Structure formats: structure tokens, C-alpha cells
Amino acid sequence: MKNNIEITTNETLGETIHKKVLSNGLEVYICVRPGFTKKIGMFGTKYGSINNDFIDISNGKRVTMPDGIAHFLEHKLFEKEGENSLDLFSKEGISSNAYTSFDHTVYFFETIDKFKKGLEMLIELVKTPYFTVENVKKEQGIIGQEISMYEDDPNFNVYFNALRAMYINHPIRIDIAGTIESISKIDKDILYTCYNTFYNSNNMFIVIVGDVDVSDTISIIEDKLKLYEQNIKSEKVMKFGVVEPTNILQKKIEKDMGLFMPQLSIGYKLLPTKKNEIIKREVISDLISEMYFSKSSKFYETEYNKGAVSDDIDFVYEGTTDFSHIIISTMSSKLDIIQADIFKFIEELKSNEIDIKLFENTKRRKIGENIVESENSNNSYRRIIDSILNESKLYYDLEILSNITVEDIKDFLNTLEYSKAVISIVK
């Protein structure tokens, strides 16, 4: 600890991360990458599409908001009086954008030679909301078109229909952008309520990756924030979840979209788990994906020779402390064969012994991939954001990967119950 800065170094990846919690509660993470030309700045909030039930920070009252408001708010922050922040970044030659997920929202920029300018503009973007009756109405039309566009997207449909089959009450079953009906209920007052509650610094984080000076960067952040944070409450946010049954809503959903190559998603609904366990599940799922479903796997080779697969088979874990699932996705002209074979194969994996040699080789390969991919700045900030959201120590994923055992793989496979599995087909 130096000057209240916590320093974590990972010699294997050649990274050093400096963390400082500012007096307003904002967490700042600076991943120093000497020699890297690209610099990335990210300003995020622990606020996503599933956080619609919470205590209004201004009056202490519990409120429920329309679906899609976190994504709507992300769009609106780019609009300022008489100008759009994306255009301002572009004029400076700085790339900028944002995204909203189920549980967080992040605004970011990338630059080579205008880091200080980009960081100041990013903070100004996030800290100067401008909502009016007129610009909210205009945005409802824009996002309504976006929602309609996704309704015509096969990938979106096969994925969200799997979630809708798995979950009964949980808001994860609703599109991150909401529905045309739900966004029609959004007005400037509830946007300010959500902004003031979730965009208070105690609920936010800044992540920097690149060849930057740590002290100078923290000074830029502190000086810029002082311009916007007088008389603003900064305190812990209280959010409420829903009671979600352990059973699924329905076994199968099919949608006909006239596709040349039908798409399949199989979802396994799991019990939610504690935050540290989420990262462990992610690591285990990544290993299972590589061992048993990648193009180098025996299962893929068998299905390919049958003509049952024509593309990748994805095996992906998603979860927070109040939802958890596996999604297995692929494309196939022989959906009956591939879905039956996947279910059968999962049951065989649960019954049979884990191939130790395959496990050890895959584990070594994954450790090697982490080293190779450390040259990509994106992997650095993703690891930091995972650590923030799951309140885990930095590089915890690498620690788990090094210590994972075949028993861990087996235990996780045994949580995949056919009675909790759903089938989503777009044909």
C-alpha cells in the first residue's frame, strides 16, 4: 500500500494494477502496461437491466421502474444540450461508446495520444445528465426501432427465448432494451431518479488500461470530479431482487423465421451462487467448453461426421448472485439429432470418469492462452470489471484455473439437470 494505493502485480502476465478508493467511494483501477500505445478509459456503474426495484437515494422510498430504463439512460447520457458527445469525441479523434448488460453499464474511450483529453471528456459525459421532455420522447422512437430490429434477429430470438423458457419471474427474461410498451412509460423525472441513485460515485468505478502515469491519472480524475459533485449524495445503493422458483417455465420454445440454417440454444437453469463461486463457474465452464464441445473435441467430430453441426458449439456460463445458467448454442439442419445427442452426451459426462490427460492438457492450454492474450488490453479490463462486480481479488480467475481439479469439473457437470433444461429453436 502506497499513498492509499493498493498495488497488485502479476508477473506471469506482466501487469501491475493500482487501485485507489477515492473519498467519495469511487473505485479507480489503473492497469499499467508499459510500451502499449493504446490507452483505454472506462467509467462504469453497477446498474443494469435487472435492477428495476430499489430505494430512491433522494427520499429513501422503494420504487419500481419500467423495463429497459438502464439502457435508455445509457443512450441519453450521450445527448447534451445542442450536441452529441459521440460527435465531440470523434472531432478529437477519440473513439468512444458504451454498453449496458444485465448488471452493469460502462462508458469508454480508446486513444493513442489524447488520453488526458479523453479521460476528462469521459467524466464530463457521465457526470452531466441532460434530460428533457422532448429528447426523452425522441429517444423512445429511436430505441423502439432498435427493439423492433432485434425482434428480427435470429441470434437474439434463440437466446432470449431460452431465457424466457428458463425463468418465470426474473427480469433477465426481458430484453435489456425493454419493450416498446415499457419504454413508453419512461420520462425525464424517473431518468433523474435512476441516475441520481445508481450514478452516485459510491456505486461506480473507473478502469484505465495503458502506459499511463498513475499519480497524474488519479489527479485528473479527482480534479475533474470536483467540478460536478458538490451537494451530490454518494452512498450505497439498496437493490431488491425477485423470488425465482427453481423450476423452469416451459421445456421448449420454437419460432419460425424462415432461416436457411436453423439455430438451437439449450439452457440449463442452475441455482444462483455466491460471488466468488461465479468466477469459479466461469472458469470451469470454459474448460468444459474446450474439452468437450470445441472443434477439436471428439463430440464435435462425431456430430460433424453425422452432418449434425455446421458451425461452433458454444458452451457458456452466465450468472450473478440471483440468476445462473448454462447456454449451449449451435446451428444445424438436423436439430432433432444434435439436441438429442447433446442431452445424451451431458448425461454420459456425468456418469463417466473425467479423462485426466485431456483435463490436464486443456488446463495447461488455457493457462498458456491467458499469457498470450495478455497482449490484448481488452482482457485486462474485462478481468478487472469481473473482479469489481463479483467483489473478488484481482487475478482470482487465474488462481482458480491453476487450482481447479477434475472433481470440480465433475461437481459442476452434476448440477446440469435435464429437468431444469430448456430448448429454444429458431427455424
Q: What is the DSSP letter of 305?
A: H
10 Å Cβ neighbour count for 229? 15
- Residue-level length of the chain: 427
Q: Residue 253: which region, alpha, beta or left (left: phi > 0; alpha: psi -120 to 50)? A: beta
Q: Which has the closest alpha carbon to 342: 262, 265, 232, 427?
A: 265
d(CA 56, CA 234): 12
Instruction: Identify the CA nearest to 101 among candidates 276, 338, 257, 320.
Output: 320
| Cα–Cα distance for residue pair 248/406, rounded to 1 Å | 29
Q: Where would I find the H helices in 100-132?
A: 115-127
Helix (H, G, I), strand (E, B) or coil at 36: coil
Q: In this structure, are residues 176 and 163 in contact, taking their beta carbons and an 8 Å threshold?
A: no
Sign of the four-CA dihedral 267, 268, 272, 278? negative
d(CA 85, CA 176): 22
Please answer whether residues 418 and 343 qualify as being in contact, where contact means their C-beta atoms are separated by less than 8 angstroms. Answer: yes
Residues annotated as part of the active site: 74
Contact 397, 356 (CB under 8 A): no
